[in-house]
Amino acid sequence: MLARQTLIDKREVYSKDFLSSIPSHQDTLTNNTPPRPADTMDKALRRSGSNGGITKPDPYATAAAARKGKSKTAAANNIFKMNTDIGQHILRNPGVAQAIVDKADLKQSDIVLEVGPGTGNLTTRILEKAKRVIAVEQDPRMAAELTKRFQSTPATAKRLELILGDVIKMPELPYFDVCISNTPYQISSPLTFKLLATSPSPRTCILMFQREFAMRLFAKAGDKLYSRLSVNAQMWATVTHVMKVGRNNFNPPPQVESNVVRITPKKPRPQVSYEEWDGLLRVVFVRKNRILRSGFLGTNSVMEMLEANYRTFCAQKDILLDDGPLDEAMADGMDVDEGGARDEEWDGIMEMDDEDDMPDFFKEEADRKAKKLQDNPNRKRKGKVAELVRAKVKKVLETDTDLGDKRARLCDEGDFLKLLYAFNQEGIHFS
Edge-first strand order for the sheet with 204-210 is 160-164, 132-137, 111-115, 178-182, 204-210, 258-265, 237-245
Q: Is the peptide bond before 37 cis (omega within 30 degrees of 0)?
A: no
Q: With contact defined as beta carbons under 8 Å apart, do 230 and 220 qualify?
A: yes
182 is in an annotated binding site: yes
Amino acid at 109: S
Return the number of other C-beta atoms located less than 10 Å from residue 124's C-beta: 20
Q: Is 354 annotated as a binding residue?
A: no
DSSP 279-316: HHHHHHTTTTTSBHHHHHHT-HHHHHHHHHHHHHHHHH
Q: Check: CB of residue 282 under 8 Å from CB of residue 357.
A: yes
Q: Is 78 labeled as ligand-binding? A: no
If DSSP codes are grouped into helix, strand and coil, which group holds residue 209?
A: strand
CA distance 205 to 105: 11
Cα–Cα distances (Å) from 307 to 115, 320, 387, in that order, read 39, 14, 9
Annotation-wise, does 344 bind a ligand? no
Per-residue three-class SS string for 19-30: CCCCCCCHHHCC
Is residue 137 part of an annotated ligand binding site?
yes
CA distance 345 to 189: 25
Asked, as a colleague might, if the bond just before 190 is cis with ω within 30 of 0, I would say no
The neighbouring-strand residues paired with 245 are 258
Cα gap 347→369, rounded to integer Å: 12
Ramachandran class of 239: left when φ > 0, alpha when ψ lies in -120 to 50, beta otherwise: beta
From the list 200, 201, 238, 233, the residue with the least C-alpha distance to 217 is: 233
* Residue 244: strand pairing partners: 259
Q: Following CA atoms 387, 392, 398, 402 in sequence, which dihedral angle do they give, to the nearest 10 degrees?
A: -160
Measured distance CA(145)–CA(158) in Å, rounded: 16
Strand partners, 261: 207, 241
What is residue 78's three-state secondary structure?
coil
Q: Which residues are annotated as part of the binding site?
A: 89, 91, 116, 137, 166, 182
Known binding-site positions for S-adenosyl-L-methionine:
89, 91, 116, 137, 166, 182
